[in-house]
Amino acid sequence: MRLDPTTLLTWLGMMAVTYGARAGGYWLVQRYPLGGRFKAALEAVPMAVLTAIIAPTVLATGPAESLAALATLVIAWRLPALAAVAGGVMTVVLLRMVMG
Amino acid sequence: MPEAATAPARRGNDEFLLGAWQMLPLLIAVIPFALIMGALCAEKGMSPLETALMSALVFAGSSQFVAAGLWQHPIPMLAIVAGTALINSRHLLMSAALAPNMGGFGRTRAYLALFFMADENWAMAMRRAAAGPLTVSYYLGLSVPFYLSWVLWTTVGNLIGGVIADPKRFGFDFAFAAVFLVILLSLNKARRNLLPIAVSAVAALVAWRLLPGSAYIFVGGLAGTVAGALAGQRPANAP
């Protein structure tokens, strides 16, 4: 099967920068002691990154996505996560059909 | 998925299966995108082996889409690698946040485990870490099937080509937003702090309009993180 050396080199370059980021954060935390602001920053990362990932879909794609996100949150308040995800996906499919 | 909270001391095997089980919805939601990714690679003239190797070595969906989009001959290697670095810079923040929860891993296993860290399994790992200790087995349960599935289905997509309809029709694209939203909600219940969320949302939306690719994730993530740092630590673990 065909494997072009330049292609492989490109993959290795992509792997190097990606793994560098994946290992780099761990390396930094191992090297510099956690304390004060650094600790507060790390504690904010999960919410900040998750928010950034979903912000365009939830807030700026269309009413179907925004309403489905709202439905997901409402369901998740009382029911298990899986029900919330299923409810959100069904809501978006229905609203996209209705709203064209 | 709240059963993670009640599983502090399971044996390795159970932990692996629990991780794999809780990851299943995300694993399934990724399959249509993996097929499309593989089909795109085939369209651009990549062989199944080249497609499988890209997935196995890089294992980062959005940067692989960008690479395939830029693909031509001669290969714009520098642009692809630079774009990948920009898109995946968010992993720097993510692994820093995961690091304090990897005490049970040991250094070597942590560096190996981080090779498999993508948005989806990272989010699930952080969710677990908020409820109890993150074990190696649970992390591998989240990561290994997810990784193998990505490599498998991108390769299958390359072999069968563009038979997949628009995943939006079935809401697969929204499944990620829904899962991340639920995780966000559970993390915020544990640590009520709306400032990083608000700052990240605004910064991400602005960057999404202005910058190419998924650089907005890093911009929003960084802005929210800085906001969290400047606001300082809230009185520890307010209920």
Tens of pLDDT, residues B84-118: 998 898 999 999 999 999 999 999 999 999 999 99
Q: Which tens digits make up the pLDDT trace of A77-90?
A: 889 888 998 999 99
Q: How many residues does chain A have?
A: 100
Would you say residue B10 has pLDDT above 60? no
Q: Which of B50, B85, B228 sits opposite A41 (nearest CB)?
A: B228
Q: How confident is the model at residue B1 (pLDDT cuts 50, 70, 90)?
A: very low
CB contact under 8 A, B223 and A9: no
Interface probe with B: pick from A2, A6, A15, A22, most Cβ of B within 10 Å:
A22
Residues 150-209 of B with CB under 8 A from A: 168-188, 191, 193, 195-197, 199-201, 203-205, 208
State the Cα–Cα distance between residues A48 and B228, nearest whole angstrom.
9
CB contact under 8 A, B75 and A10: yes
CB contact under 8 A, A3 and B53: yes
Q: Which tens digits make up the pLDDT trace of B29-74?
A: 889 889 988 988 998 889 999 999 999 999 998 889 888 888 888 8
Long-range contacts of B232-235, Cβ-Cβ distance < 8 Å, separation of 24 or more: B232/A36, B232/A37, B232/A40, B233/A36, B233/A39, B233/A40, B233/A43, B234/B191, B234/B192, B234/B193
The helix/strand/coil state of B159 is helix
Pick the range with the lowest mean pLDDT from B13-17, B32-36, B65-69, B231-235.
B231-235
Residues 25-44 of B with CB under 8 A from A: 25
Give the pLDDT of residue B236: 47
Structure tokens at B157: 């997509």
Chain B residue at shortest CA distance from A88: B178
Region A45-56 average pLDDT = 92
Give the pLDDT of residue B208: 94
State the Cα–Cα distance between residues A11 and B55, nearest whole angstrom.
9
Q: Which tens digits make up the pLDDT trace of B165-216?
A: 677 777 878 888 998 899 898 887 766 688 999 999 999 999 999 987 778 9
Structure tokens at B236: 């520890």
Q: How confident is the model at residue A24 (pLDDT cuts 50, 70, 90)?
A: very high
Q: Which residues of A touch B235 (CB under 8 A)?
A: none
Give the pLDDT of residue B190: 65
Region A48-63 average pLDDT = 93
Give the pLDDT of residue B165: 63
Residues 53-72 of A with CB under 8 A from B: 53-60, 65, 68-69, 72
Give the pLDDT of residue B214: 77
Q: Which tens digits make up the pLDDT trace of B215-224?
A: 898 899 999 9
Q: Give exposure, B152-167, as e/b (b: 16+ Cβ within 10 Å).
A: ebbbbbbeeeeebeeb
Chain B residue at shortest CA distance from A72: B178
Contacts A–B by Cβ distance under 8 A: 299
State the Cα–Cα distance between residues B221 and B88, nearest whole angstrom.
12
Give the pLDDT of residue B239: 39
Interface probe with B: pick from A49, A61, A98, most Cβ of B within 10 Å:
A49
Please spell the DSSP secondary structure of chain A, one letter per residue. ----HHHHHHHHHHHHHHHHHHHHHHHHHHHS---HHHHHHHHHHHHHHHHHHHHHHHHHS-HHHHHHHHHHHHHHHHS-HHHHHHHHHHHHHHHHHHH-
Give the pLDDT of residue B2: 46
Give the pLDDT of residue B168: 74
Task: Give the gap in angstroms from C-alpha B85 to the nearest C-alpha of chain A.
Answer: 5
- DSSP conformational letter for B212: S
Would you say residue B8 has pLDDT above 60? no
Task: Give the gap in angstroms from C-alpha A27 to the nearest C-alpha of chain B.
Answer: 8
